[in-house]
Each structure stands twice: as structure tokens, then as C-alpha cells.
Amino acid sequence: MKILQKNLWIFVLCLFQSLQLAHAQHGGELKMWYDKPAKVWNEALPIGNGRIAAMVFGDPTKEKLQLNESSFWSGGPSRNDNPDGLKGLDSIRYYIFNGNYERANVLSNKYLTAKQLHGSKFQCVGNLNLAFDGNENYTDYYRELDLERAIFTTTYKVGNVTYKREVFASQPDQVIVVKLTASESGKLSFTANFDSELQKSVKALDAHTLEMTGLSGTHEGVTGQVKFDTRAKIITSGGSTTVSSDKINVSNANEVTILISIATNFVDYKTLTANEVEKCTNYLTSAETKAYPTLLKSHIATYQKYYKRVHFDLGTSSAAQLPTDQRIKNFSKSVDPELVSMYYQFGRYLLISSSQPGGQVANLQGIWNGSNNPAWDSKYTININTEMNYWPAEKCNLTEMHEPLVQMIKELSESGKETAKVMYGSNGWVAHHNTDIWRITGVVDFADAGQWPMGGAWLSQHLWEKYLYSGDLKYLDSVYPVLKSACEFYKDFLIEEPTHKWLVVSPSVSPENTPAGHPSALVAGCTIDNQLLFDLFTKTIKAAKLLKKDPALMADFQKILNRLPPMQIGRLGQLQEWLEDWDNPKDQNRHVSHLYGLFPGNQISPFNTPKLFDAARTSLNYRGDVSTGWSMGWKVNFWARLLDGNHARKLISDQLTLVDPVKGGFGGGGGTYPNFFDAHPPFQIDGNFGCTSGITEMLLQSQDGAINILPALPDDWKKGTITGLRTYGGFDVSITWENNQVQKINITSHLGGNCRLRVPNVVVLVNGKTLKQAEGENPNPFFATVKVKEPLISSNANLNELNLKPTLMYDLPTEAGKTYTIICKK
Ligand code: FUC
């Protein structure tokens, strides 16, 4: 028995030592790592520069880089307005007000839903394959994605030779760079080729250059018109290269650099006249003049300019010694705080890699898609998903990454004008629940999902939100026409509902949810629509005031604002999802649209609207936790806004449930694939971004009149640091905490003005002096609180005690450009 015990100890000790060794050599903080090559797409690792991207598999024998270019979509410039809209609109509204939802649905599908075109598909350019000779019996395999440097690396051994591959997507040089090395000279032999499922032609231009050209697919009657050119330049040192038909063979090279360039003929959503061959060649010719270390250096510097703004440390544990997929698998049963900080930073990595100024908006899969028939076309679902992609942008200090979204909203405000006119006879612009690279703004799919004329209203919130972080009036001036025109649409489109004479949106849906027992989701005046309009009109009026514009029109807008339905509390004590008290306590729909007012909106506050706060919490408790990936990501934000850190932490754990990478189909519980991609399932990137936003909200909020420090810290995040987050009013905030108590706060003020802090501790010292406790409204205009109407309580709603932790508020007057160190004491 004793011998057995001793052996067991020796075994445990050896295991621990070998794990420690593995950790010393492999992984480490902010490196996702694996001990096997990726077999399937959901195990491969993403790299990208906002315009071009790859999923890298890291197989020693058959390397595959699955390639994407952000403007490579099916079809071409197109619209999808149903020209019969005005024939059906009045009847549809009549039937909705008279409770004949079935008839309204039939007419809506006939007169309003697009006749043929439901949006284009984001497509895959193809693959670059590298087949290596004699690598079958490899050992010591290792694969990582270094989030700090945005570099993929694989190493392995064959016999005594160590092989290494490094891959990155350079933003400054606009090429994907692959570096192959071996520990002995003359050991690199492989065959390179391109393939693609689409119409294409592949050839070797010379013994060092492969080219693939092709055309995007035809879809729903729109001919594929996006042309691409992609080239791989194989630069060898030593050995030789030969061409065999459409392949290049490399033999006995010492080291190899491959530069991959991709370009399309896309100029903008209306124009496809660029010369893709010229663009592709130019990127390559310019990159070729630079040595690998130069390319690497400028890649890292450009990436880190964004990435390094935020540092997040929750501490580490022995769990961190395992490969990332195993850590995800163990997460709910282990103590692994570092997996949370790495997942958080992976969200920031993905945003930097998929959304760059001047480029396309991150779509349902960001920029990574291996299929020509992706789920939901991998387009833009603007009834939650696209907005969710950009929730981390400002608060995680990545404001530049927000720019493609702002550009898309401007473009939608152009294309959506015709939709407003043709379909509804209204001025202004409208977009429904989906759009694509061609900026379609009509109704897609079918009425119960697509008949939601609020996509533009939700997107427009981002325009104002961006201003609140930067205070940039020139920027506000540039987006003001979009805000104004969005309001002008609703000024014409809203109608009076018969009971309370409120102004409502009809026909509409509470996104993708049907009230129990109804034959259709079609309704008038659902809660999210009212909340979105409340925000849209309030923000536009504020913007006009700041820019000294349109006082008469704003007076009209104010009248509309005064006639919007208030939020209502229903028979279960819940926040009503619809104008009527139709909520079903058993409803676990993934959408929780009526809580838009809690997050990302800020109409519901524990301090200003406690009844609504309680009702929102009741609604969320009914909805439950486990759902699709993105829904859980949203719920992390909700529970953070409900100031319940432990519940938010529970949702993170639900979201970090390992999902089988082979499982790509719909349905089943959401979670996380081995490569950290969010699983709806299938892969959908919004869940990643939503959770990164949610984790930020747990540590810092600024939407409710003050900068709220550690508003929802879970009990088990006892100690930590987060630096460089951005708040409303242009403050950069860093926080250190220990024993669940805030210790130190650093604030850098970019715009000056009053910095009101809400903290969970008692005494706050700046430069050794106690700060004055705050009273009244925050004089800083960026923190003006939202004034919503008191709720109507339709029955004996049970208003619980809110049961929140006490906090204190302090005012710190700041000067632009100065940093303040605040010490907190119990
Ligand atoms: C909406 C959601 C689905 C999915 C799709 C892309 O339709 O209801 O869950 O996220 O968008």
C-alpha cells in the first residue's frame, strides 16, 4: 500500500513538473495554445487585419490557410424594397389594431416582405494549401495564437529537426505573411497550391508566384459580380522551386517566406470598378521589398497601438498550465480566472482583426468564414447581432474599430431613403432587421422576423454613443444628418394607437418573438421600439442643441417624444415586452429585446427608476440563463447593469461551456468552441464581443450619472487590475482591487470636467486629501441622466426590495490631459 502511495506521489510530481515545463515553454498569459493540429474549422485559429483574414490549421503534413477578404460577397449592387408596400400598409395596420394578427401577417408577407432578394452572402475566397514531404511522424507538437502580438505559431519536430511556422495578417503592409523555418538547413520541402469552391482559375505565374482569380456566387437572382485576385509569393532561401501545372514545389529550402495578397474590384456598395489585379499586385510588390523582420516589426507595432491600451489581470492558477481547449472544458469545475481575462482580450483581438477604419463592418462571423453558404449568409443582422459586435468598441478603448459601423450607418441612411418612400410613403430613412454589403434596407425572410422597421433606429444609437466618449463636435456634426433623417422617418411613420392615443410603430415585432397564443409576431408599439425611439429622439434633440440646428423641427420632435408609450410593468411584476400584458413566464426566447432599455440603453437605473429596475430583473429571471451564445453574452451585460456580479459571472461560465467543434448545425445549447469562437451554435462572433462588453460592464460603467467603479464584481474575482478602459466624458480609468475591495483608481481626463465617482468603499483620497461627497445632478453634461416616464403598474406588481450594496459618490474636478490617482480606504 505504502509503495503504491509512493509511486502515486512520484507520478503526480512528474506530471506536475512536466506540466510546469510545458507551461514554461508553451502558452503563458494571453497565448491560446493546443497540443494538436486543428482537424476542423472550429479548432483552427483566426488572424486578420480588418480587410483580409485567414483561419490557420497548423497541420505539420498539410497546412491550410482558409482565406477571406471582407468585400467578397455574393451578388452585386442591389435593392430589395417591395414596391407594393403602400397597397397593403393601411390594411395591415387596421388588422393589427383589431386583433386579426393572422390576416396582418398574410398581407405583410405579400406587400412588405421582399419579393426575391433576402440579402447576399459573405463568401470564402479559398484556401492556400501547403503539403509537406516526410512530416508524418512528427513529435513535440505545439500550436498557439499570441494575443499580445497577433501571431500564430506552430512548432513540431521530425527526427532531430525542429520546424516552426509563424503566420500574421499585417495591417500596415496589407498581406498575410507566413514564415517557415527549420533548425537544420535544406529541410523545407513542400508543394503549394490554391483551391476554391467557387468559379476560379489557378496558375503558377512563375516558379515563385501562384495566382488564383475568381468570381463571387450568384444568389437570389443577382449575378455574382465581385472579382478577386489572390497571389502567393514564395520567397525561398536555399533549395529550389519548380512549377508543376498549377502548383509550386519547394525542395530543400533553408527557410521560406510566403506573402499572400488578396484584392477585389469592390469600391463601395454601389461601385465595383476597381482593378483587383492591379491592387493585388501592388500590395505584393510593396511588401516584397521588405525583409521579414521589418514586416513583423511594423505588424506588431500597428496592432499593439490598439491592443495595449487595456491590460486585464485577474490572477492565475494551476489550471492555466493546460491547453486552451482543455481549460474551456474544465472551466465550470476549476478555478481559472486567467481564462476569463484571456477570453476578454480575445474579444478585443477579434475586433482589431476584423474591423479597421476604412474597411467593412464585422459581420456575423467577423471576417472569418470557410463556407460559401454560411449560416444566415454571415451578413448583418441588425436587430441585435451587428450592434453587439460593437458594444466593446468604445469602452474597451478601441474607438477606431467603431468607424466601419459609422460608415455603414451613413450608407444605410442613403439607401434607406428610397425604402422609406417606396414602401411606406415616408420621408427620412429606414432599415429593417438585416442588411448586407450592398446596404439593402427592405424586409427579408418573412414578416415574423423581418417586419421590424427599427434596424436604423438601433444602429443610430451608436452615432451618439461614440460622441459621448469623445466629445468630438465635428464628428457629431458629420453624423447629425443621419440622426435627423432617422427621426424624420418615424415622424411620418408613427401612428396613434386607439386606446391611449400613444404614437406607435406598426407593423412591427418584438424581435423574433411571438406573444403566446398569437398566430403571428406582428404587433404595434412593442417595448423595444418605444425605448429605441425614446433614445433616438432624445439624442437627436440633444445633438441639434449642441450644434445649434433646427430648433423648429426639434420642437416637433419633442412633441413626438412626449407621446411615446411609457414602459409598463405587467401582472407578473415583469417589464412588459409588448403594449399589452402578454408576457409568458415560460418564455425562454433568446432575444430579450424589451430589456434594451437596461442594456445597451440606459433608461432603467437602480438609482432613478427602481421600479423598472426591479421589473427588468423579474423579466430576466423568467427568461433564464442558458441560451444561444450571443444571448448569454447579452445576459452578462444585463446582470452587470443589474449590479449582480455573481449572476454575471455564472453567465460567463455558461458561455464558456465547450461545444463540440464538429457541431456546426443550429439548435442545442450555446457555448464556446475549442478555438474560443462563440457557438450560437454554429459559430457567430457576436457572443465573443457581447461577453467582452459584459466583463467590462462588471468592472466599470458610466451610463448612469457617474463613473461606477466595480459595480458588479463577483465574489470570486477577489483581486485584480484593469487598466485603460474608456468612459463617457473621455476619461481613461484603471482600477486595482484586493479582497474584493477597490484599492486604487487612476483617472486620465481627456476633456476635463467633473469626474463623479461612485465607489463601493467609504473614504476616497486624492493626493492625500479626502474628496467631497457628491450631491445633486452631475454638472458634467456627458453624464446627464435619462428622464423616463414613471411606469404604469397594471396590477399588484410585487416590488421587491432591491437589495443592493451601498455605494458613495464623490466629485473630482479635472483638467484635460491630467491624471489623478485615487486611493480608497475602508
Ligand atoms: C437572429 C437571431 C438568431 C441568429 C440570427 C443571425 O435571427 O434570432 O439567433 O443570431 O439572428
pLDDT (average), residues 121-137 = 96
DSSP 8-class letter at 794: -
Burial 179-212 (b: 16+ CB within 10 A, else e): bbbbeeeebbbbbbbbebebebebebeeebbbbb
Alpha carbons 92 and 100: distance in angstroms, whole number: 9
Atom of ligand 1 nearest to the CA of 686: 10
Q: Is 814 in the pocket of ligand 1 (CB under 6 A)?
A: no
What is the number of alpha carbons within 13 Å of residue 786 lying toward its C-beta?
A: 22
Q: What percent of the chain has pLDDT over 90?
A: 90
Count of beta carbons in the 10 Å neighbourhood of residue 779: 13
Instruction: Indicate whether 8 pLDDT > 90.
Output: no
Q: Is 439 in the pocket of ligand 1 (CB under 6 A)?
A: no
The rounded Å distance from CA 511 to ligand 1 centre is 9
Tell me the sheet residues that pair with 219: 222
User: For residue 14, what pLDDT is reported?
Assistant: 40
pLDDT, mean over the chain: 94
Alpha carbons 464 and 484: distance in angstroms, whole number: 12
Instruction: Indicate whether 229 pLDDT > 80.
Output: yes
Q: Is 628 in the pocket of ligand 1 (CB under 6 A)?
A: yes
Angle value at C-alpha 351, between 180 and 49, nearest 5 degrees: 40
Q: Which amino acid is at 499?
A: T
* pLDDT band for position 176 (cuts 50, 70, 90): very high
Q: What percent of the chain has pLDDT over 70?
A: 95
Per-residue pLDDT tens digits for 701-730: 999 999 999 999 999 999 999 999 999 999
pLDDT (average), residues 564-580 = 97
Total-model pTM: 0.96
pLDDT (average), residues 117-131 = 98
The rounded Å distance from CA 747 to ligand 1 centre is 39
Atom of ligand 1 nearest to the CA of 449: 7
Q: Is 434 in the pocket of ligand 1 (CB under 6 A)?
A: no
Instruction: Indicate whether 764 pLDDT > 70.
Output: yes
Q: Is 590 in the pocket of ligand 1 (CB under 6 A)?
A: yes
What is the number of alpha carbons within 13 Å of residue 527 lying toward its C-beta?
A: 30
The rounded Å distance from CA 178 to ligand 1 centre is 35
The rounded Å distance from CA 385 to ligand 1 centre is 7
Instruction: Name the closest-CA residue to atom 8, ligand 1.
Output: 512
Alpha carbons 584 and 577: distance in angstroms, whole number: 10
Instruction: Indicate whether 152 pLDDT > 50.
Output: yes
Q: Is 631 in the pocket of ligand 1 (CB under 6 A)?
A: no
pLDDT (average), residues 747-771 = 90
Instruction: Indicate whether 798 pLDDT > 70.
Output: no
Instruction: Indicate whether 150 pLDDT > 80.
Output: yes
* pLDDT band for position 5 (cuts 50, 70, 90): low
The rounded Å distance from CA 684 to ligand 1 centre is 9
Q: Is 379 in the pocket of ligand 1 (CB under 6 A)?
A: no
670 touches 678 (CB < 8 A): yes
User: For residue 331, what pLDDT is reported?
Assistant: 97
What is the DSSP pairing of strand 62-69 with strand 52-56? antiparallel
Q: Is 732 in the pocket of ligand 1 (CB under 6 A)?
A: no
User: For residue 200, what pLDDT is reported?
Assistant: 87
The rounded Å distance from CA 375 to ligand 1 centre is 10
Tell me the sheet residues that pair with 739: none
3-state secondary structure of 452: coil
DSSP 8-class letter at 543: H
The rounded Å distance from CA 614 to ligand 1 centre is 28
Alpha carbons 91 and 94: distance in angstroms, whole number: 5
3-state secondary structure of 783: helix
Q: Which amino acid is at 250?
A: V
Q: Is 386 in the pocket of ligand 1 (CB under 6 A)?
A: no
pLDDT (average), residues 620-642 = 97
User: For residue 20, what pLDDT is reported?
Assistant: 39
Instruction: Indicate whether 260 pLDDT > 90.
Output: yes
pLDDT (average), residues 590-613 = 95
Q: What are phi and psi of 130, to 5 degrees?
A: -125, 110
* pLDDT band for position 790 (cuts 50, 70, 90): low
The rounded Å distance from CA 690 to ligand 1 centre is 14
**Alpha carbon of 581 to those of 31, 262, 625, 781, 795: distances in Å?**
49, 54, 23, 36, 10
User: For residue 28, what pLDDT is reported?
Assistant: 61
Alpha carbons 232 and 194: distance in angstroms, whole number: 9
User: For residue 199, what pLDDT is reported?
Assistant: 81
Instruction: Indicate whether 275 pLDDT > 70.
Output: yes
Alpha carbons 316 and 257: distance in angstroms, whole number: 36
User: For residue 826, what pLDDT is reported?
Assistant: 75
Atom of ligand 1 nearest to the CA of 364: 6
Per-residue pLDDT tens digits for 343-377: 999 999 999 999 999 999 999 999 999 999 999 99
Alpha carbons 79 and 25: distance in angstroms, whole number: 54
Per-residue pLDDT tens digits for 61-97: 999 999 999 999 999 999 999 999 999 999 999 999 9
* pLDDT band for position 666 (cuts 50, 70, 90): low
The rounded Å distance from CA 451 to ligand 1 centre is 14
* pLDDT band for position 10 (cuts 50, 70, 90): very low
Alpha carbons 89 and 337: distance in angstroms, whole number: 54
**Alpha carbon of 773 to those of 591, 699, 722: distances in Å?**
40, 22, 25
User: For residue 15, what pLDDT is reported?
Assistant: 44
C-alpha cell at 114: 421582399
* pLDDT band for position 289 (cuts 50, 70, 90): very high
Alpha carbons 595 and 152: distance in angstroms, whole number: 39
Name the least confident of 8-17, 647-656, 772-781, 805-814. Answer: 8-17
